[in-house]
Chain A
Amino acid sequence: MSRTRPQSVAQEPRSAAAPALVLDTRRLRSLYLDLLGRPPFAAERDLWLGRGARELLDALLGSDAFWRHWFDEQLYYFMLIDNFRPEGEGVEAIAAGLSAGKLSVRDALHRIALLPSFDLRNPGADTFVTVVMEQLVGLTVQVARRELEIGKAAYDGRPGLFLGANASSQADVVRVAAQHKDSMRHFVAREYERVLGEPMERRALAAAARELHKDPRRYLDVLRGWLLSDGYAARLERGKELSNRLFVRALFVDLLGREPSDDEAETLRGALDGLGDSRPLRAVVVRMLLDSGRVPLPEKGAIADPTQWIAGEFRRLLGREAGPDELKEFVTVFHEPDCVPALIVQVLLADPAYHRY
């Protein structure tokens, strides 16, 4: 994938000048979560804090880990996977193709809709064509009934002009939808909202959609522009809800120093997604890890300077400095005989600030 600076709608704004783009704890954590679906490991924090955001984007955008995260987000969007992750040659080939630069994002979306898992998840002409129209093109089928009927006929092998192109098979329905001009518009709109946490302005959306429809391989350039924009800085200011998937991955990295396995991640995300308000189960998962004996926290007696340790935990988990009153109260409680370091960490992980980034 191209790493050159874009001369396009994705161009970085002039106001995003160098001083604002130095990586502090918050920006570093957010960029890692947005791009790799996890916070940085300790060594990565040490490596990148204080350096430039552009340099970090050069390293992360287009990496294997980036594409794997991106692909998982797309699978979830298309299939709302519950306790299973599609596996097999087709799935791995898509992720590998993206990493190798052999597939564009449009190719990848097209192939996701051709996966056997997608077919199984959307059985029958009505469901399949409806989901393709809704998820790939962003159409509301209730106001596009005629196209739905043509698509269903094509799915069953009867030729027709579906979304303005000839189609006479299930594969044609997917191909026509994936290549439709509104497909990239829909993709850009939902990607912008996923990363920036708000809808994209109409004219900017139209321009970015045109650019990606023409050349979908420019996706990384467009994304880079978003991440260096004032809009992303504003999004950092207001914060964004940590999805259940990101929460699980963040928690494993922050407590265990490792990523969860696919099984661990999917099982826990599936359970958390099973609650309208996942806070009670998030609390269970936090305490499950803290009580497991696997979290490498220091013994209370080994913490020579509790003030420094607590301040470090505030920075690491909440992405901010602890206030003087906070430090005073935490240190006082720390010295209580029944207080252990895990209790401090438990409270910080339960704070709403940990669940936003």
Chain B
Amino acid sequence: MKQHIRRRDFLRQAALVGGLAPSLLASGALALPRRALAPLVPGRKTKHVVLIAFSGGVRSRETFGTPDNVPSMLALAKEGVSFPRLKTSNLGHFGASMSIFTGISEPRGIRDNQRGPDPTVFEYLRKDLGLAQGEVWVTTSGGAQQTNYSYGLHPEYGARYGATILDGDGIFNAKFKTLLDEFGRPKPASEREAALVERLRRGISDGGRETGDEREALARVEKYILDELTRGTTGLSGANAGDAKALRLARNLLTIFKPRVVGVVLQNADVAHTSFNAYSEVVRRNDAAIGELMAAIRADDELRDSTAVFVLPEFGRDHDLNSRRGLDHGDGSDDLNYVHGVAWGPDFKRGRVVEDELRTIDVTPTICSLFGAEAKLAKGDVLRGLFA
């Protein structure tokens, strides 16, 4: 994607949008994630990771079993490592996707809207490596529930190490944009107004307010949202509209901020319950959107040779069609319990297929290992056969 704004301008505007004092700007307290990041483990080349949970229930038959559906993922597999026998945690979409991010099989209710008890990969990385909030993002497509993936409730980790998480369809939809247009977009504050806001903030006596770093992070998200509303993400439509938005946001975040980690959680494939054809279409469209994300990575001088990408479904679907000629997920078949994942990156083998039975919960320990962090409570192992 072409970058329309310079980082320096973005930073300055973000501070004014958030009503931050010019003194904070001058102090350097508002530093964006560093440019030209170094690898976190000596001898490794990986500086950035993109983890795509191709959730919603996707069988291997419709991905690598139907090559025409997934040319982008095939290209990734050709240049990376393919895992055709990843055992899943079949616990509903929410729990199974959560399992990928925690490295633990998570028994969560389908409509559960609570954070899990275990730390996520984002918390491990932020705590162990001292990463700033702005270096770990997650984009989702499944509404309020999926925002629970940003962090868990473990007392040693939790919110202070969470990822910044955005639901593409929840925010960047036509109704919200229309409402903003009807009321009118907020006006950027002048520097004098921002300074007054800062004085007033400091004038309130009780504690509990954000630190300068937190306010900077919040202001940056605020500015990003307002900008993104003008970039066309809102207009994405079709069977995979939610997923397309999550992938578009991931692409934009990656190219603008170049964060260490971007997680993406998809969901639209679950249309399979009522329509096999719509489900197949979602698989094809999502693969195309993953292709656009990869094209952006390949086109970026910094990201091209320093980014690792993981793509895997949270679980598959039933072996047979249901009475509505759709596909449910609950028959306990291999189609449901095993998925085909792929990993691509500068530290991984190329063109390798690992036939061993591995697990979706192995991804979190693998990413932590890649960056030199430790997924202390995860039950998975580092993926065998991945590293070059």
Asked whether A347 and B330 contact (CB < 8 A) given A80-B113, A131-B111, A276-B147, the answer is no
A350 to B273, CA, bound (A): 43
Looking at the assembled complex, report how far the CB atom of A241 sits from the nearest CB atom of chain B, in whole angstroms: 12
Looking at the assembled complex, report how far the CB atom of B318 sits from the nearest CB atom of chain A, in whole angstroms: 9
Give 6 A-B contacts (CB < 8 Å), ordered by A residue.
Answer: A122-B110, A123-B324, A273-B170, A284-B225, A292-B183, A329-B202
Which residues of B sit under 8 angstroms from A347, Cβ to Cβ? 197, 200-201, 204
Looking at the assembled complex, report how far the CB atom of B181 sits from the nearest CB atom of chain A, in whole angstroms: 10
Asked whether A333 and B222 contact (CB < 8 A) given A276-B163, A352-B209, the answer is no
Which residues of B sit under 8 angstroms from A346, Cβ to Cβ? 19, 197
Which residues of A sit under 8 angstroms from B274, Cβ to Cβ? 123
Contact between B209 and A273, CB atoms less than 8 A apart: no
A125 to B218, CA, bound (A): 42
Looking at the assembled complex, report how far the CB atom of B118 sits from the nearest CB atom of chain A, in whole angstroms: 16
Contact between A82 and B185, CB atoms less than 8 A apart: no
Q: Interface on B for A, CB 8 Å cutoff?
A: 18-19, 91-92, 107, 109-113, 138, 140, 143-145, 147-151, 159, 162-171, 173, 175-176, 179-180, 183-187, 190, 192-193, 196-197, 199-206, 208-209, 218-219, 221-222, 225-226, 273-274, 322, 324, 326, 328-330
Which residues of B sit under 8 angstroms from A339, Cβ to Cβ? 196
Asked whether A267 and B206 contact (CB < 8 A) given A131-B111, A273-B144, A284-B226, the answer is no
Asked whether A267 and B175 contact (CB < 8 A) given A83-B170, A124-B322, A333-B199, the answer is yes
Contact between B171 and A281, CB atoms less than 8 A apart: yes
Question: Could you say which of B110, B179, B225 has the most chain A C-beta atoms within 10 Å of its C-beta?
Answer: B110
Contact between A326 and B273, CB atoms less than 8 A apart: no
A268 located at the interface, meaning its Cβ lies under 8 Å from any Cβ of chain B in the complex: yes
Report the count of interface residues on A (CB-CB < 8 A): 61
Which residues of A sit under 8 angstroms from B273, Cβ to Cβ? 123-124, 127
Question: Could you say which of A77, A339, A350 has the most chain B C-beta atoms within 10 Å of its C-beta?
Answer: A350
Contact between B176 and A268, CB atoms less than 8 A apart: yes
Contact between B218 and A279, CB atoms less than 8 A apart: yes
Contact between B167 and A330, CB atoms less than 8 A apart: no
Looking at the assembled complex, report how far the CB atom of B354 sits from the nearest CB atom of chain A, in whole angstroms: 29
Q: Give the number of A-B contacts (CB < 8 Å).
A: 192
Q: Interface on A for B, CB 8 Å cutoff?
A: 77-80, 82-83, 122-127, 130-131, 134-135, 140-142, 152, 263-264, 267-268, 270-271, 273-277, 279-281, 283-284, 287-294, 323, 325-326, 329-330, 333, 336, 338-339, 343-344, 346-347, 350-353
Contact between B197 and A276, CB atoms less than 8 A apart: no
Contact between A80 and B322, CB atoms less than 8 A apart: no
Which residues of A sit under 8 angstroms from B166, Cβ to Cβ? 274-276
A250 to B132, CA, bound (A): 32
Contact of A326 among B149, B197, B204 (CB under 8 A): B204
Which residue on A lies nearest to B137, using beta carbons? A276
Contact between A330 and B171, CB atoms less than 8 A apart: no
Which residues of A sit under 8 angstroms from B151, Cβ to Cβ? 276
Which residues of A sit under 8 angstroms from B183, Cβ to Cβ? 288-289, 291-292, 294
A274 to B326, CA, bound (A): 29
Which residue on A lies nearest to B115, using beta carbons? A276
A143 to B128, CA, bound (A): 35
Asked whether A274 and B171 contact (CB < 8 A) given A82-B144, A287-B186, A292-B184, the answer is yes
A284 to B220, CA, bound (A): 12
A134 to B145, CA, bound (A): 15
A338 to B193, CA, bound (A): 7
Asked whether A80 and B111 contact (CB < 8 A) given A276-B147, A338-B190, the answer is yes
Contact between B162 and A82, CB atoms less than 8 A apart: no
Contact between A134 and B112, CB atoms less than 8 A apart: yes
Asked whether A271 and B204 contact (CB < 8 A) given A123-B273, A281-B225, A343-B196, the answer is no
